[in-house]
Each structure stands twice: as C-alpha cells, then as structure tokens.
Structure 1
Amino acid sequence: MSWIYISGILILSGINLLTVLGLSLLTGFTGLFSFGHAGFMAIGAYIAATATVKMGISFIPALLAGGCGAMIAGLLIGKLTLNLKGDYFCIATLGFGEAIRLILDNIKYFGGARGLPNIYPHTNLTVVIIIDIIAIVVLVFIIKSRHGRNMVAIREEEMASQVIGIDVFKYKLMSLAISALYAGIAGGLLAHYLGYIQPIMFKMVKSTELTIIVIFGGLGSVSGSVVGALLLTFLPEILRSFYEWRLVVYGAAVILIMITRPQGLMGGKEFSFKGIARIFRKFKNKSKNKKEGVKL
C-alpha cells in the first residue's frame, strides 16, 4: 500500500471521527439516538462548498459557515422534536436526514441530483488532524464541565434530573446543536477532500454507519469513538481484495463485538496519559528483565 492510499483512508477516518465525536456527545453522554446526522453533514458540505466555489470565501470561514448552518438546523429540528419520547425522536431525525437529501436532490442551484463539482481540495491530513485534536479537547472540556455532568445525569435518569432542577430540554438542545456543529464541519471537510458532492452520498446508510461506530467504540467514551472510527473506516478498505464478501465480514465483525462486548470496545472507559505511561513502563521493565536473564 502506498502512503497516498493510507493517508486517504486516514483523512476519511478523521472526517468520520469528527462526526462521531459529536454523535457521541448526543448518544453516548446524553442518551439520545439519532439517525439523521448524514443530513447535518450534507448541510455543512453544501454550505461550505457553495461558499468556496460560488462566493469565493476562503476555506476555514467556509467550514465554520457550514458548521454553523448545520447547528442552526439542529436547533430548529430540536425545538420541534426533543419533546418526543423514546423511539419517536429517533424516527424524527431519520425523517429529517432523508428530507434534507431529497431537498438537495431538487435544488438546481446546488446541482440537484448531479451534485456540485469543481470543489478545490483544501482538505489534507494535517488539517484533519488539527481539527480533530481541537474537537476532542473541546469535547472533553464540555464533558468534564457542569454542563457535561448534567447531560450524563439526563442519560442516566431523566425524571430525577428534572426533579433536582436540571433543564432537561435545554441540555438536550445544547447537545444536539454541538453534535450538529461537529457534523457540519465534517461535511465541509469531506466536500473539500473529494472535490465533488452529491445528495446520494448522504443517505440513511451513512447515518447508520456513524451510529454503529459510536456503539462499537463504547457509549460514553471519547477514546472509544476514536478507536471505533479508525477501525471501522480501515476495515472495509483492508477487506477490499475480498470485494464480494467484505461487507459481510464487516457486518460479522460488528455483530461479534456487540455479542462479546455489548458495552462496546472501551465500555465507557477512557485512555489516559498516566495509563499509557504505566503500560509503557511495564513493557520496558519486561524487556529489561529479559535482557538481564539472557546475560546471566
């Protein structure tokens, strides 16, 4: 495999990771399942691409505009649907994602079903890594703040949270808005990596894939989102030589993890610098002891 091919997969992993981090806040830490995040990605992609191609706006402001557009859409859909209970919110987000795709299919200004071509490829591995690091740091700060603790309380017991004075609707809406912002920026990055976008790229399958990554990595774990995004983006590419069977193997791997570890790979746990340093010291000590044994 050439470095160009590997870096391409890493870029796609980083773009998926950005959306998954936002979805992790909504699903893993607030307890709201969404199947409409491909719609938020589509909004971000089309706004960012239109800003650079048709309006001559530079890349970073265009990305922010795409993220803000998706966040506004998240606030609007949240105002209308967050009072729904259980599976009804999930169904509403699914309908939202499909509605966005069909609307884009029929707007000629955005190219309709043919899509929007000639997007300059601003996105590279360095840009994706920098944005992902910023996104992870911001997400960790949110989770460790009072607002993050309130979101976790809502996930654990919504009624009790309401009784002790937490504004449940406000924090659900905040979580959805931040999640949509992340997805919108990821959509802008995707548009400026591929150089071409089409509504069909943002089907329900994409939303399902993103939700699977969150569950696979572990609900309530930022580290799990990182591991899940990397593994499940790389796995179909590794299996590309088995073209006819690769999606079967991919599905079987996901099912196997769900059966053996229903809490996901990380199970709500996080990597820490202290833990990594401890593992490194143990490995170093073992290597040292082996060398000493050989000398004796």
Structure 2
Amino acid sequence: MRTFMLIVSMTTFIFTGCHQQKKSESLVIEMTNPTDRYRNNAGIVIKRSQLNNPDSTLLPVLYDNNGKLIVSQLDDIDQDGQWDELAFICNFAPNENRTATLTWVTSEKYPTFKDSIQTSAGKESFKQFTASGDSILQEADSIGLGEIAVYSNKATYPIGKPNYLLISEGPVRRIYGIDRKESKVSAGRIAEMVTIWAGHKGYEKEIALINMPPNTLLLTGIKDNVLNRDTTFRAYEYGYVALMAHTLEKKSYYTGMAIIIPDEYYTRRGYTAYKGLNLWYAELKPNAENKVTFYVYGAKEKDNEGFRSADYFEEFIDYETLYIDNPIEINLVN
C-alpha cells in the first residue's frame, strides 16, 4: 500500500456541480460551510473518478487563495496500487465560502513537507494530530465503547478475532481495515473500515456483513459504570440518534462517550450483560447492501477541562451530529 501526501489542508462531501476536464488542467474547488458554526478541521474527500484526469501519471496538488499549499493525502482505498481519493481538511467560519485551486504535477514535482502541521494548539506531528481518535479506537474494547456483537436468532454472539490492516496513514486521516471471521453464527465475515480524521475525538465505522444469515442484526454500546447508572439518549429531527454517557474514570478524571447512529440503521436500545460488562446498547439493522455506518466519540477531561461537565460534552455531540448531517459542500469548476 502506498499513500501519497502533500502540504495541503473532513467528513463526507457534496458535489453541487462538476464539469468534465478536457485536459490535465487546473480547476477551482468551491467549498461552502452550510452551517452557522465555526468548523475546525472539516474533512473533505474528492474521489479520483470525479476529477476525470486523462493522464493517470499526474498527481493533484492543492493551493489556497494565497498560493499556499494545503495539507492533503491520496488514499488507495481498494489496495490496487492506485490512489482512489483525495482527502484534505480546512477551517471554516460560519456559512463561509472558500476556494482552492487543484493543479496536476508529475511524481518528480510532487511536493514534500515536514512531519508537522500547524494546529490551534501549535505545531503537532501528524501522528499527534490523529492520536485522539486513534486512542479511542485502541481503547474501545477495554472501556466498552463502540465495539460490536452479532444478534441472530434471539441470541447475542461475540464476533471473531480481528485482523487489522492499515489502509492509509497521512497528515489528515488514518484508515484501518478490520476483518473478522464469524464462526459461531456462520461461515460469514464481518469487514469494518474505520476512518479517523485529524483533530477529531472519534471515528467513523463502516461495517459490511458478508455471507451472514438473513436478518442478522448488530449490537453496539457503551459500558455501564457504577457512577453512571443511565445514559442520555437523543433523537435528532434530521435523522440521527445519539447514545451518550459521562463517567468518572479511575476516580481521577471524567470521560464522555457517545455513539451517533443514522436513523436508517437504528432499531432500538436497551441494557444487557455482555462479556462480563453491563452495557447500554443500540441495535442496528443493516441496509439492503448489508452495511451499517455509525460514529464513535470519546472525550477526556485530561485533554480538555470542559469535558468534566456532562452538559458540555452533550453539546459537543449535538454539534458533531449537526456537522455529520451537513458536510462541506463542494463544487468543481474548470
């Protein structure tokens, strides 16, 4: 696997228009923040197929209005040796419109940059910048957050041992593939893709059920805590639900934990004992393609004193849900 990176500056994207390129010429990327909130480290993805560059040997480079390189990376999602997506991050004021220029260069002229990025906290290495979401992923099993189980024939089954693959690692996002063979239910498999964006306290989890029995459901949840006898459940009018908990960890600091689920996958919530833990769970129904997507967040007081407050954390999740529902709008113009 090979990841290309450059100095360029999240989550999904919307194409409001796109013109075909006649040659390997530059184009303007128009970007709009559709919310009345500041958006720091907003992730943007442009698929290679949308760029329609006839010369496959050239690579895209991004510049802002001042001619400064923007931090970006090229990701080989399907692992065929060719990049599939251009990913970068930008900051936006409320309802701001911004533009960037994309030009094509040979691999010899592709820019290089130091292993650091300017953030609101000062200069950080790329690995530091993505560390928050990555630590939540690595701690998920021990803290009981966002892990999944199979629910089939009115019984709950742990999923098979994971096999990890680092699909891409760059300055703006890190992508893992997780493959599990589900032997206790069938000979099927569960494949996960986890995307962690720089500067974010969580990650997106996309799950595919492969050759699993019909009507198989998934469970995911948040560990119960003796100091946290309940969770906050919130249903948003724009098509999402969130399960949230705010708990004292190790009698020293508070941690906020949340799972955001699109309505199309959510069926119900409940409380159960599982793998020696008591869990508040959400039941998830795969779509027609046998896929499920949800978002996992963890925010620690030791990283931001504001997260000592449950209200502060819940407001943070409210806005994260708003941003998921309102990705940065993208228009490509020759």
- TM-based fold match above 0.5: no
Which of the two has greater strand per residue? 2
TM-score in terms of structure 2 length = 0.25
Q: Decide which structure has greater helix share.
A: 1
* TM-score (norm: length of structure 1): 0.27
